[in-house]
Structure 1
Amino acid sequence: MHKMWWKILGSVLVLYATIAGFLATVPELPILHETIRNLYFHVPMWFAMIVLFSISVFYSIKVLRSNNPLDDIKAVESVNTGIVFGILGIVTGSVWAKFTWGQAWSFDVKQNFAAIALLLYFAYLVLRNAIDEEQKRAKISAIYNIFAYPMMVVLLFVLPRLQDSLHPGNGGNPGFNSYDLDSRMRMVFYPACLGWIIIGYWIYTLLFRLRSIDKNSAL
């Protein structure tokens, strides 16, 4: 049981954030209105994705140093899980945009760059499937992953700030401040972020264990 505490914590935080996200009071803001509740779901998906991609690049670096096949499995499974959270981030963002901007995909600069960032990691998976030899696949995909990670950071956090964007905090558009994200929302938003990050890590560990079992069975 002592090894399960973080899984229990993640489950409790997500359950709490989900219930409070729908039922707790939120600021009455023009345009956003009740859709601001999506902040509890949309943004945590991206945070979880970034953490998982960070884990992936860490193990990609280890692959080049150790040639350990388990490190390669950890790298690819964290990418697989991160992509799922990235897709959820885009879907929840599109739903939010539909009700606040009038259309699900307005070709906002951050929407476009987020889609390109995900395509970088889809390309990583395609690259892996195109190489049959195990050690060669591990090294080449590790090198690709190491270069893809800073590109993802630039696409999500740097380039959108250089252009006009409907997203808060980009292109001169003010981000969520103490007026928008008040103390009531922070009590839900921060646990939601931590909870979804833990759940994402948990899913990644499960996928790693399944892939390790398959690999050992094939030997």
Structure 2
Amino acid sequence: MGYLLKTNWWKWLCVAILVYTVIAGLLFPVPRLPILNETIRVLHFHVPMWFGMILVFTASVIHAVKYLKSGSYQSDIFSEKLATVGLFFGILGILSGMLWAKFAWGEYWSNDPKQNASAVSLLIYLAYFVLRSSIQDEQQRNKISAVYNIFAFALMIPLLFILPRMTDSLHPGNGGNPALSIYDTDSNLKKVFYVAVIGWTLLGFWMATISSRIGLIQYENDNQD
């Protein structure tokens, strides 16, 4: 994160990738799979957002551990802002997934295990921000929040990647339901998808970088003698 705060080249790369994702994702031909048809284009947004969310949350918990070790206010600010972006990406991921589910499964919310687990994960992270706003003492708030961040991340992994695979699920790759890639041999999806993962991830760190800079300035202004 500290490296990202001091460099600029990756921001332009992020913009270029996202422009490519939108244009190519809308214009490239896609495989005509039953039911999915054109809605398969949501793949370029829904799944990469979740990849970006996981990576941003990972960076957030790393900075939470750094704060517990060093007590650095910079690490606490980085951790909070990264978690904010991660939650935002998660909400976008659920909304885009609901839109896709409407066409693929017939309803926006079908109580699919992965849908439910995703909602629970985001509620756990939402509680992180409620916790931060409810504690007035700065050091106590930062320490408790850092511990809770680790707890939230440790719960998110089994909720998203383990439990849905142990039961029946409509999601590809879960509960015995084959992954989409088994049916898809069209390379156009992959040309956009893998690039989109990089783009959404860079966008997440870019957003966290900007908000972290603002947070650092506010903190330093509030603590001037």
Same fold at TM > 0.5: yes
Q: Distance in 2 between matches of 1:17 and 1:142?
A: 35
Other-structure match for 1:28? 32
- Of 7, 16, 19, the residue aligned with 1:15 is 19
Q: Distance in 1 between matches of 2:157 and 2:184?
A: 25
Q: Distance in 1 between matches of 2:185 and 2:162?
A: 23
Other-structure match for 1:162? 166
Q: Distance in 1 between matches of 2:85 and 2:181?
A: 31
Q: Distance in 1 between matches of 2:186 and 2:124?
A: 35
Q: Secondary structure at the match of 2:33?
A: coil
Cα displacement (A) at 1:182? 2.9
CA RMSD of aligned residues (A): 1.2
Q: Secondary structure at the match of 1:120?
A: helix
- Of 92, 105, 111, the residue aligned with 1:107 is 111
The residue correspondences of 1:167-186 to structure 2 (distance < 5 A) are 167-180=171-184, 182-186=186-190
Amino acid at match of 1:99: F
Q: Distance in 2 between matches of 1:212 and 1:31?
A: 49
The answer to whether the aligner puts 1:40 opposite 2:44 as a matched pair is yes
The residue correspondences of 1:1-219 to structure 2 (distance < 5 A) are 3-180=7-184, 182-219=186-223
Cα displacement (A) at 1:207? 0.4
Q: Secondary structure at the match of 2:97?
A: helix
Amino acid at match of 1:44: P
What are the superposed Cα offsets for residues 94-120 of structure 1, whole Å, 9 maximum, x if unpaired? 000111111111111100000000011
Q: Distance in 1 between matches of 2:130 and 2:149?
A: 12
Cα displacement (A) at 1:53? 0.5
Aligned length: 218
Q: Distance in 2 between matches of 1:14 and 1:80?
A: 21
Amino acid at match of 2:215: R
Cα displacement (A) at 1:217? 1.4
Amino acid at match of 1:70: Q
Superposition misfits of 4+ residues, deviation over 2 angstroms: none
User: Could you list the runs of 5+ residues in structure 1 that have no partner in the other structure?
Assistant: none
Amino acid at match of 2:105: W
**% same residue:** 51
Q: Secondary structure at the match of 1:190?
A: helix
Q: Distance in 1 between matches of 2:46 and 2:181?
A: 17
User: Could you list the runs of 5+ residues in structure 2 that have no partner in the other structure?
Assistant: 1-5
Cα displacement (A) at 1:178? 5.0
Cα displacement (A) at 1:181? 5.6
Cα displacement (A) at 1:183? 1.6
TM-score by length of 2: 0.94
